Amino acid sequence: MQNDIPFKLFNTETKQKEVVFPIDGKTLRFYACGPTVYNYAHIGNFRTYVFEDLLRRSLEFFDFQVKMVMNITDVDDKTIKGAKENNLSLEEYIKPYFDAFFEDLKTLHIKPADVYPKATDYIQEMIDIILDLLNKGYAYTGTDGCVYFSIKQFSNYGRLSHLKLQELKKGASQRVNVDEYEKEEASDFVLWKAYDEKRDGKIYWDSPFGKGRPGWHLECSTMAMKILGKSIDIHAGGIDNMFPHHENEIAQSECYSGRQFVKIWVHSAHLVVEDKKMSKSLGNFYTLRDLLDKGYSGRQVRYLLMQAHYRTPLNFTMQGLESAKLSLDRLQSFIERINGLDSDTSFPSMDKTIEDAKISFSRFLADDLNISGALSVVFDFIRNIHSLCDNNALGKQDKKKIIEFLQSINSVLGVLELNKEEAEIPLEIKEALDKREEARKNKNWPLADELRDFILSKGYKIEDSPKGPYVKKA
């Protein structure tokens, strides 16, 4: 049904809403810039990841087959600095942040990407691309031993961020060898950063251009092209990644491959606090843990982050979180009411009511992910059904249909608890079950047994199902 409605996304490059369809006619190849695991992610970062998840879920709701890749930046200026200061290897240093990131994704009900490549697993591929760019004359070695991309060699530089010519000229005489720009100016950017013992300690890779490590921009281009192919359908990130990161990704990828790198670029606006971007450097941030410690759930935080349109800045306040909680409570109490329907009455136009709601919900999503429109359809539907319940017009046949409808929209929203039993299982039990699964995968049988005993001691037992183990009251 959804296939009759064209799914449109706003492309930052063309500044137009464009119809999505896969380049290869089969699979949408979707790359999202992932975290630099040098610290715990904050909920500003998660606004972007929740948006990307919502987009991926919506595309799947529209029956697209999606292959999604999110990279993990495990080597850049920040991870090297952290590892060196703490006298740890890069791997040891990033581990707690890496693990916390995946735990947070689960808490926020973000569907796992198909691949989470780590930059350090693709160093040879990055070296190969640099060699190619040097051979073709797009790159040069600076007096500092770093290899740079020469932006004046790429006539399309600025295509994404719509930079003015004047700014580009300035760039021609400038070079930047840090991973992020201080100023919004175009500059030749680093592809390979030469090793400096004092700064980098023991962290370097050998290459034909000397010891060093790849530049951050090159990491994303390489992983995207190696895993998804030279032309990809959708590339997403927060708006701060648009320039210079994504502009530079285009330049180096297209000079390497000779093809258009990305068909549709999508960028999400920031989560802000009093008009300022939530960021580590400003110190105006909350981590997900901070909010869980205050008693909020992952679903409530997800609801807060996803309810505003992705291209509109979202102001974070505790009051906003509280009202997200109230909206979600309304949805949950609706589900409880529906679960209680058990009479033989049935509403003659239930199929039509649901079909209409589903079409309106789909139309809003297909219009550049108009989530507030889609949510308003859900709340209108609920109001309508509540009044039918008030008039005792619904029974168990209707319950089945309504729950199925809610399941289908929840495949997009990911915030509802539709299974009554699941809703009542405490978080610590769900977490113990996940940890037990992890322990079993790692063949750590004593730990797996310990976790099973813990679950039993709390009055729950583990059952198996085709979808994997689950817990229920003993």
**Is the dihedral angle over the CA atoms 385, 389, 395, 399 positive or is it negative?**
positive
**CA–CA dist 289, 291 (Å, integer):** 5
Is residue 56 a contact residue for ligand AMP (CB under 6 A)?
A: no
Is residue 307 a contact residue for ligand AMP (CB under 6 A)?
A: no
3-state secondary structure of 174: coil
| Phi, psi at 268, each rounded to 5° | -100, 145
Cβ 363 to ligand AMP shortest distance, Å: 27
Is residue 33 a contact residue for ligand AMP (CB under 6 A)?
A: yes
Q: Which does 220 bind (CB under 5 to 8 A by kind): ligand AMP, Zn ion, none?
A: Zn ion
Among 237, 244, 298, 414, binds ligand AMP (CB under 6 A): 237
Is residue 238 a contact residue for ligand AMP (CB under 6 A)?
A: yes
**CA–CA dist 254, 221 (Å, integer):** 10
| Residue 241 · residue 48 · CB < 8 Å | no
The CB density around residue 396, as the number of other CB atoms within 10 Å, is: 13
* Interface stretch with ligand AMP, choices 119-127, 185-193, 271-279, 397-405 (CB under 6 A): 271-279
Q: Which does 452 bind (CB under 5 to 8 A by kind): Zn ion, ligand AMP, none?
A: none
Site size with ligand AMP, rule: CB under 6 A: 16
Is residue 58 a contact residue for ligand AMP (CB under 6 A)?
A: no
3-state secondary structure of 283: coil
Identify which of 53, 43, 58, 40 has the alpha carbon closest to the alpha carbon of residue 113: 53
Cβ 195 to ligand AMP shortest distance, Å: 23
Q: Which two tokens stand for residue 286?
A: 């909350």
Is residue 244 a contact residue for ligand AMP (CB under 6 A)?
A: no
Residue with smaller CB distance to ligand AMP, 2 or 315: 315
Non-local CB neighbours of 168 within 8 Å, separated by 6+ positions: 151, 152, 157, 158, 186
Cβ 42 to ligand AMP shortest distance, Å: 7
Task: Assign residue 63 a region (left: φ > 0; alpha: ψ between -120 and 50; beta: otherwise).
Answer: left
Is residue 277 a contact residue for ligand AMP (CB under 6 A)?
A: yes
CA torsion 303-304-310-315 (nearest 10°) is 180
| Residue 264 · residue 233 · CB < 8 Å | yes
Cβ 260 to ligand AMP shortest distance, Å: 22
Among 29, 30, 47, 154, binds ligand AMP (CB under 6 A): 47
Cβ 312 to ligand AMP shortest distance, Å: 12
Among 12, 20, 40, 45, binds ligand AMP (CB under 6 A): 45
Is residue 279 a contact residue for ligand AMP (CB under 6 A)?
A: yes
Non-local CB neighbours of 74 within 8 Å, separated by 6+ positions: 37, 90, 91, 94, 98, 118, 119, 120
Among 48, 120, 221, 300, binds ligand AMP (CB under 6 A): 48
Is residue 215 a contact residue for ligand AMP (CB under 6 A)?
A: no
Residue with smaller CB distance to Zn ion, 33 or 374: 33
3-state secondary structure of 382: helix
Is residue 241 a contact residue for ligand AMP (CB under 6 A)?
A: yes
Q: Which does 278 bind (CB under 5 to 8 A by kind): Zn ion, ligand AMP, none?
A: ligand AMP
Map the footprint of ligand AMP across residues 154-173, applying CB under 6 A: none
Among 11, 20, 31, 36, binds ligand AMP (CB under 6 A): 36
Binding interface with Zn ion (CB under 5 A) = 33, 220
**Is the dihedral angle over the CA atoms 449, 455, 461, 463 positive or is it negative?**
negative
Is residue 394 a contact residue for ligand AMP (CB under 6 A)?
A: no
**CA–CA dist 36, 45 (Å, integer):** 10
Cβ 35 to ligand AMP shortest distance, Å: 5
* Interface stretch with ligand AMP, choices 39-47, 114-122, 418-426, 458-466 (CB under 6 A): 39-47
3-state secondary structure of 209: coil
* Interface stretch with ligand AMP, choices 189-197, 235-243, 377-385, 387-395 (CB under 6 A): 235-243
Is residue 44 a contact residue for ligand AMP (CB under 6 A)?
A: yes
Cβ 288 to ligand AMP shortest distance, Å: 13
Non-local CB neighbours of 471 within 8 Å, separated by 6+ positions: 425, 429, 430, 433, 455, 460, 461, 462, 463
| Residue 157 · residue 186 · CB < 8 Å | yes
**CA–CA dist 167, 177 (Å, integer):** 18
Cβ 430 to ligand AMP shortest distance, Å: 27
Is residue 125 a contact residue for ligand AMP (CB under 6 A)?
A: no
Q: Which does 47 bind (CB under 5 to 8 A by kind): ligand AMP, Zn ion, none?
A: ligand AMP
| Residue 212 · residue 205 · CB < 8 Å | yes
Cβ 33 to Zn ion shortest distance, Å: 3
**CA–CA dist 118, 150 (Å, integer):** 26
Q: Which residues contact ligand AMP by CB under 6 A?
A: 33, 35-36, 44-45, 47-48, 237-238, 240-241, 270-271, 277-279
